[in-house]
A and B are shown apart, each in its own frame.
Chain A
Amino acid sequence: MAGARAHRLGGFGAWGSALAVAAVLLSFAGAAWAEEVVVVGNPALPVDSVSTEDLKRIYVGEKTFVGDVKVDALDYTHAGPVAEAFLRAVVGMEAKRFHAWWVKEVFHGGGIPPRRVEDPAEVLRLVASEPGAIGYVPASSLAGNTSVKRLLSLPILP
């Protein structure tokens, strides 16, 4: 039983998450070096976009299916600025807190943590080849890539 996972995050809660997303957007709106982070999915996913709220539910394990397709969320083994900004904006936590939170969730009785991979190239390879795979990469790593589906863009620190 998952429980109300989102409210056990110890972070900002639903309103707080919206504020966190807004704060991230505002923080980097004027920065000349700001870069987009793009949420990408396998072409077999039966959706063309995903909301930040659904994305949060996917990354905290509340939503494990999109249509009939089992979702396989991807995260990074070593959290860099992109992962830090993404997780803060989407789930309201810094990366190491998010990973520790997931350990507790596994002990909580179930749930599948995001699979952790090394770099954006591996995210793109897995998303292109595995139905249900969803991940996030900096927009610069997507140049010319047509094998994945773009689901959402977030302007954050590269």
Chain B
Amino acid sequence: MARLAAFGLALGLVCLQAASAGAVSLDVQGTRLSIYGYLDVQYTYMDRMPMRMGATVMPMDAISTLDQDHLNLIVHTVRDRMVANVNLESRHAFESAVQNDGTVDGHGQWNVLEAWGEYQFSDRYQVRGGRFLAPFGIYNHMRYAIALFAPVVLPTIYETPPNYQASGGIDHLVPDDGNVMLHGAFEGPTLRTEYALYTGSGHQRANGTDKNEAKNVGAQVNASAGGQTVGVSAYWANDEDAFGDRVHLAASLDLYRGPANLQGEVLAIRSSTDAVDVLSYYGRLSYRAGSDTLFAGYDFLRDRSNLIYRDGMQRWSAGVGHEVNPWILLKGEYHFHIYDGSQIPGAVEHVHMVRVAAIMVF
């Protein structure tokens, strides 16, 4: 009860802040510098969670946490055909703090998520260099800002639950960073085709340094017509010391019909050493009615080498988002997890989770 009261208080403070919402922008001698940001306050309740303890699985006690989770700032600079972005983030929520070894760290630290510069030759050809989220699927290149888009919890493809340790040490199921990218869009009478080709330094080591001997390359193509978009993404990485070559393949669709939106994606990951065998997919239907958005979805994640996920985890979700005004969003959602691992001693079969969030854009 006290947590809910605190959430209400925090929400009130966020609403008061809205009176001054708006980006800070400065124009000096042909260079435009703007600062954009968002922050959120989240309440999460999870009745229990299966955690891996060595060779077995143990249920963790209920989680009930109120956090000011994200505080993100983007410094955006434009000069003629050049654009530069620096994306800074500070997080507090429990997912960001619980490390794989069970320790808690990183509360409130500022991280440079992205820092890149881009030169735009034309709408068709643009070159980006630096560190940026690789375009992969619908959400990867914007997953740091997912609180701005309904719902709060990303599909499992992009944000695995805290108890997930991916095969052989992959940090994420989707690519992390790219370092150099050629991208653009070709516009036809009815069809718009966007493409991206990128390469980078491979996934990071546990200590955060780039693994320079493990290069990666990736590509994405999205085709849109009349509001309907289909896309394919591919990513190849060479993790020599872990699993050899690793390939991520994904296909997506994003369909709009009036106020309804249907999204779906499927992702498969395989490695040449058979150490990695992951399949994940989801479908989500949302409906916008005025300032409210309702959604319902289904997620599936199976990882053959993961004790908790080797037989698959299903997640059913439903929620609602409400725009108080364009700068303030309220969201609430319920998730029901089904772990198909009853043969594992101590396994948890069902997990309920509720999340409520208030988000302010500025």
Contact = CB atoms under 8 A, between A and B. Distances in A.
B123 A4 contact: no
Judged by DSSP, the binding face of A is: mixed
A35 to B, nearest CB: 27
Contacts of A104: 145, 148-149, 361
A107 interface: yes
A107 B38 contact: yes
Interface stretch (B75-83, B98-106, B269-277, B336-344): B75-83
Contacts of A101: 326
Contacts of A103: 23, 36, 38, 148, 361-362
A14 B122 contact: no
Contact of A3 (B87, B123, B229): B229
A107 B227 contact: no
B258 interface: yes
Contacts of B327: 96, 100
A65 B122 contact: yes
A110 B144 contact: no
Interface string B137-167: 0000110110011000000000000000000
A62 interface: yes
B107 interface: no
Given A109-B141, A113-B34, A1 B194 contact: yes
B222 A3 contact: yes
A107 B27 contact: no
Contact of A107 (B74, B81, B118): B74
Interface string B107-143: 0000000000010101100000000110100000110
B34 A10 contact: no
Contacts of B145: 104, 107-108
A63 interface: yes
B83 A112 contact: yes
Given A4-B192, A10-B288, A104-B149, A64 B361 contact: no
Given A107-B72, A107-B145, A100 B361 contact: yes
A2 interface: yes
A13 B123 contact: no
A105 to B, nearest CB: 9
A68 B122 contact: yes
Given A110-B118, A112-B78, A13 B222 contact: no
Q: How large is the interface on B (under 10, 10 to 19, 20 to 34, 35 or more residues)?
A: 35 or more
A110 B83 contact: yes
A125 interface: no
A1 B72 contact: no
Contacts of B80: 70
A115 B32 contact: yes
Contact of A109 (B21, B23, B34, B142): B142
A7 B74 contact: no
Contacts of A109: 132-133, 135, 141-142
Contacts of B220: 1
A14 B118 CA distance: 30
Contacts of A115: 27, 32
A13 B224 CA distance: 14
A6 B81 CA distance: 22
Interface string A106-150: 111110110110000000000000000000000000000000000
Interface of A: 1-4, 6-7, 10, 13-14, 62-65, 68, 70, 96-97, 99-101, 103-104, 106-110, 112-113, 115-116
Given A1-B196, A100-B361, 14 more contacts: A1-B222, A3-B229, A7-B227, A63-B123, A70-B81, A97-B326, A99-B23, A103-B38, A107-B144, A107-B145, A109-B135, A110-B85, A115-B32, A116-B25
**Across the A-B interface, the 9 shortest Cβ-Cβ residue pairs:** A100-B326, A107-B145, A4-B224, A7-B227, A109-B141, A97-B326, A108-B142, A104-B148, A103-B36
30 contacts: A1-B141, A1-B220, A1-B222, A3-B224, A7-B229, A13-B227, A14-B226, A62-B192, A70-B120, A96-B326, A99-B23, A99-B326, A100-B327, A100-B361, A103-B23, A103-B38, A103-B148, A103-B361, A103-B362, A104-B361, A107-B38, A107-B72, A107-B87, A108-B141, A108-B142, A109-B135, A109-B142, A110-B85, A113-B23, A113-B34
